[in-house]
Structure 1
């Protein structure tokens, strides 16, 4: 199966997340991924990005501006993963607090 993602989103995330201490730019399942302490907290795939947050937080954010639950299939939802779709790649800079929240959650500091 071919992995698809927007190169412009990857470039924007590299600029936004690549400067945060401890963040490593990597790959996971063929997609660009961002890790902290060796654990994935974000990846770029399809038309947006996906971040890991506590289930309750995902539930709070679903339905907000371009945010929806992530699921690898139409019938499967990963409860701790939130998809964020932005048309303009640079708009992800407005989600920096969510990325930082994801880093804290994944690293156990949440």
Structure 2
């Protein structure tokens, strides 16, 4: 499965969850326009064929150290502390990271 198909499956998985908005809803353009959001905040998106998720900084550091992902810099050359990207992986990994990101971002936006 290519990254676009895998992300589409992730969107389908989370669509309908409380507070979750699918990509393209709301007509926004630019950063985050193709992202999964909870209560208006991005928790997962596809960028350059990679899953990008927002997680606690310590969790991002740990996952990168374990080789699960790499720092995400949004094209500015400076890693964003609470974001990481994942190339490849399994559907299960993407769903688990997506759930973790949804829980993290959703808890912050209540």
Q: What is the CA distance between 1:45 and its match in structure 2?
A: 1.1
TM-score calculated relative to the size of structure 1: 0.74
Query: How large is the Cα RMSD of the aligned pairs?
Result: 2.4
Which segments of structure 1 move beyond 4 Å, counting only runs of 4 or more? Answer: none
TM-score calculated relative to the size of structure 2: 0.74
Q: Which residue of 2 aligns with 1:13?
A: 10
Task: Say yes or no: does 1:100 pair with 2:102.
Answer: no
Q: Which runs of 5+ in 2 are unaligned?
A: 25-29
Judging changes above 3 Å, is the alpha-carbon distance between structure 1 residues 37 and 31 closer, same or farther for their aligned structure 2 residues? closer
Judging changes above 3 Å, is the alpha-carbon distance between structure 1 residues 13 and 73 closer, same or farther for their aligned structure 2 residues? same
Query: After superposition, where does 1:1-110 map in structure 2 within 5 Å?
Result: 6-27=3-24, 29=31, 31-73=33-75, 75-86=77-88, 91-108=90-107
Q: Which runs of 5+ in 1 are unaligned?
A: 1-5
Number of residues of Structure 1 aligned to a counterpart in Structure 2? 101
